[in-house]
Amino acid sequence: IYEEAVACGRFRPVGMDAAWTLTFGAMRMAQRDVVTGAAAPIQTVQVVALILAAFGTPYDEAERISGAKAVSSGLARPGTPAN
């Protein structure tokens, strides 16, 4: 998905190792925080939005994308704040 997004100009190109590290590191920490109770599952919306923003998606758009996916997956109801 990352390479397709770079190819169509949605993400800025970075080394694949850096992309993997950013994505999996952030998701691993978010997962740990949710499992230990340090964060509510809905906070993953902001984590995903920040990952998308790091790759070049404007933050407001990234938050909309992440929030819509949270709703479609059943993690959140429409209009649920992520913070």
* pLDDT at 58 exceeding the cut of 60: yes
Judge whether 26 and 50 are in contact, CB under 8 Å.
Answer: yes
Judge whether 62 and 69 are in contact, CB under 8 Å.
Answer: no
pLDDT in tens, 13-56: 999 999 999 999 999 999 999 999 999 988 999 999 999 999 99
End-to-end Cα spacing for the chain:
27
Rounded CA-CA distance 36/22 in Å is 21
Residue 78 falls in which region: left (phi positive, over 0), alpha (psi -120 to 50) or beta: beta
Which of 20, 22, 1 lies closest to 11, judged by CA?
1
